[in-house]
Structure formats: structure tokens, C-alpha cells
Amino acid sequence: MSFFKRLKDRFVAPEEEQEQLQPLDEPVPADEPVPAEPVKPKKKADDWDFSFDDEDLMSIEEFEELEAQQIGAKFRQGLEKSRENFQNRLNDLLAHYRTVDEDFFEALEEMLIQADVGFNTVMELVESLRFEAKRQNITETADLREVIVEKIVEIYEQEDDELQAMNIQEDGLTVILMVGVNGVGKTTTIGKLAHRYRQQGKTVMLAAGDTFRAGAIEQLQIWGDRVGVEVVKQSEGSDPAAVMFDAVNAAKAKKVDILICDTAGRLQNKANLMNELQKVKKVISKSVPGAPHEVLLALDATTGQNALVQAKAFKEVTDVTGIVLTKLDGTAKGGIVLAIRNELHIPVKFVGLGEKLDDLQPFDAESYVYGLFADMIEASGVESDTADDTETTDPHAG
Ligand SMILES: Nc1nc2c(ncn2[C@@H]2O[C@H](COP(=O)(O)OP(=O)(O)OP(=O)(O)O)[C@@H](O)[C@H]2O)c(=O)[nH]1
């Protein structure tokens, strides 16, 4: 099966089912409180009791199919700006350069660099395209369209796949440490993450570890109230390690599943930041061996190459296990995902695709390329279907 066809089968609902494509959980706007009671996990057929009507039943396969289509729709919507950039410019390139030659590859390199894919990643990508074109004897650029998109997924997925999933403990407390400079959307991300885990039926607690920035504690408390989770805090200016000590103990005592810890984001003084993060991590790991289970770095996608610089700086002071790339919906240069993965070797675990609570989505390379090239992918089958139809209905055929 062709790559485009596979993506289409995965993400696009058949036309007659399009109107069924409502979110499984009603999206809650960011400024609206969600009910304080923990939200029940999504139902799969296996979980259901007999009080449900038969007609409500959906098989696990149907459920997963619908979920994939909803995720596809989220990426399609969130990457609209980047899609205009990537897809239209690629189409223009293919129209302008018909033959596969060095001029085409150079123009492609330039296009990808401008979309923030990152110099080294672009060179690697285009080199493997040159090789593939030769290997498959592709001479017309139009025939490279699908290969280009497939190579983007390959470039992302060549790194260790196991690192991609969140390290959530089956039993006992999982501690997630959020780091990142002020203003990147760290607090919003903590709120969205808390909401996501509550939707999965987990209990969540937040720790207000940014005791440095004025208003940070109150802002986190607002998020805690909004998603209905407890926030452990002390007064502004207090020792973040002391807040973490309280929070970890409270989380353990209350048998909470997930503790998400905010931290101060001042990068100006690296030595201070490093000392603070090390102290905080030590307090956490002393109480919960193996914790923190994740250190997530929040980066603002709209800051482009500056996000890479921030990531490098944080990588020097702490072991970052994953990136949350916020505001991906706000940039036309969505290529930054590839640069981060390929140049920093840190997986992008979540992407922010909008301001609503459920707009934080786990990152997945195929959902991402579907978002970037959705119209192209959707059109691909139609073209070949039409070609097939033409063949069979052509009176001169045979
Ligand atoms: N469109 C869009 N907006 C986002 C996203 N993530 C965060 N924002 C918005 O970015 C703004 C800043 O987010 P905050 O979380 O308040 O960021 P902050 O508190 O200044 O930054 P921190 O100090 O990092 O917590 C808010 O208006 C958020 O709604 C996203 O993925 N997409």
C-alpha cells in the first residue's frame, strides 16, 4: 500500500462518516472551568458494564479508528499555517522544476531551511532524497512528492522509539518536572497535561515550584481550580525545594497518580538555575526513587531557532527527557519539530495545537506530516481513483 494511502486510511474518515467526527470528549475552552469531579476515562467496549444499550457499543477497533481520525483532524487544524507554507511551496516547486536535477534539490533545500527544519536536518533529508531518486530511477519531480513526505517521517523516526512515550508508572506515583523560560506557555501546558491525565481517570496534583516570578503561584492555582486538581504551594520567594518536599509527601500520602511540578525559568543565570534544578531533583528522588520520571522542557514554536538555543542551554543544566512544543498552531514554520529531534536528539512528546484544554496532543510523526500535507494526501487517492475510473469507462479501452 502506498504511503499516502496508508495515511489517508488512518486519518481520514470516509465521507459518509464525516459528521460523526465529533470529539470523544467535549473540548473545554481554556478559560472555562471543567467539572471538579474527576472525569471518567474514555469507554472502550471492554470496560463497559451491562447497563449500556447495545446500540452504544463500539468495538475497540472502531474506537481506535475514530480516535485516530479525531487526532488527524486536530493536527490538520493546528498545522494550518505551516501547511500553507509547506504544501503550497512544495507544489510550486514541483510545478516549476519538472525534472529531478541539482537545481530542484537546491530549491528544495532552501524551502526547507526557510521552514525552520534546520540546516543539518535539511542536508540529511535532501541527501537521502537524492539517493532514493537514483535508486528508484525517478526522473520527474512529481513522482518524488510522496517520497519527500515519507522521508520526513523517516528522519524523525530514526531515533530511539522507546523514548517517545511518556514514562508513566503503572503503580505508584509518577513525577513530571516542567522546565522552560517564562512566557513559553509552561503554566498553560501544566494545566492541559493535568486535564489530559484526569480525562484518562488518573488523579493529579500540581506543585507550584516557580516561587520566583511574581504571579506564577496564583496562575498555577487558577489552572488547578479550572481542571479540579489540588495545588501544593508556599509563599512567593520561598525555597522551591521545600515546596517539592511538601508536594511529593502530599502526593504520596493521598496516593495521587501524577504530580506535575512547575519550576522557575530564569536562564539568565545558568549557575543558579542549575543549582535550583539539582536541589529540586534531589529532593524528589530522595522521596520517590527513580523520580522525576520525566523532565519536560516547554518551548515556544513561534520563536523558531531561538527555541533551539534555549533547548541547548537547558540540556546543559539538566537531563531533559522530552520537549513540549507550544503554539505550533501559531507558526508557519512547523519544521522546527524536525530540527529539535534531529539536532538535539530529544523527542518532542507533546505539541500545543491551540488554546483549548484538549489542544495539547502527543506528538506522532505521521499525524504531523498528515497535518503538513493533508490536502495533498487526501487528493492522492482521488486522483488515482479517477484515473482508474477513466480507464474502466474509456470506450476505447482494451
Ligand atoms: N495558540 C496557542 N496558544 C497557546 C498555546 N500554549 C499556550 N498558549 C497561550 O500562550 C499564552 C501564554 O501562556 P502561559 O502559560 O500563560 O505562559 P506564561 O505563564 O507566560 O509562561 P510560563 O512562564 O512559561 O508559564 C496564553 O495566552 C496561552 O493561552 C498553544 O499551544 N497554542
Contact 202, 257 (CB under 8 A): yes
Q: Where are the domains of the chain?
A: 166-366
CATH architecture, range 166-366:
3-Layer(aba) Sandwich (3.40)
Asked if residue 327 has its Cβ within 6 Å of ligand 1, the reply is yes
Predicted TM-score (pTM) of the model is 0.86
Indicate the residue type of 153: V
Asked if residue 267 has its Cβ within 6 Å of ligand 1, the reply is no
Residue 393: the pLDDT is 37
Asked if residue 199 has its Cβ within 6 Å of ligand 1, the reply is no
Asked if residue 192 has its Cβ within 6 Å of ligand 1, the reply is no
- Could you write out the DSSP letters of every residue in 208-248? ----SSTTHHHHHHHHHHHHT-EEE---TTS-HHHHHHHHH
Cell of 384: 488515482
Cell of 8: 489517508
Rounded average pLDDT per 10-residue block, the chain, 398 residues: 91 72 51 52 49 67 90 96 93 96 97 92 95 96 95 86 86 96 93 96 97 94 96 96 97 98 82 87 95 97 91 90 96 92 91 94 95 93 49 36
Q: Is 331 exposed, middle or buried (0-12, 13-18, 19+ CB in 10 A)?
A: buried
The Cα 219–Cα 136 span in angstroms is 56
For residue 220, the CA-to-ligand 1 centroid distance in Å is 12
Residue 305: the pLDDT is 86
> Which of 100, 112, 107, 96 is closest to 149 using CA atoms?
112
Phi-psi region of 183 (alpha: psi -120 to 50; beta: other; left: phi over 0): left
For residue 355, the CA-to-ligand 1 centroid distance in Å is 8
The Cα 317–Cα 154 span in angstroms is 30
Q: Which one of 328, 351, 355, 363 would you pick to mutate in the ligand 1 pocket, going by the greatest count of ligand atoms within 8 A of its CB?
A: 355
292 cis-preceded (ω within 30 degrees of 0): yes
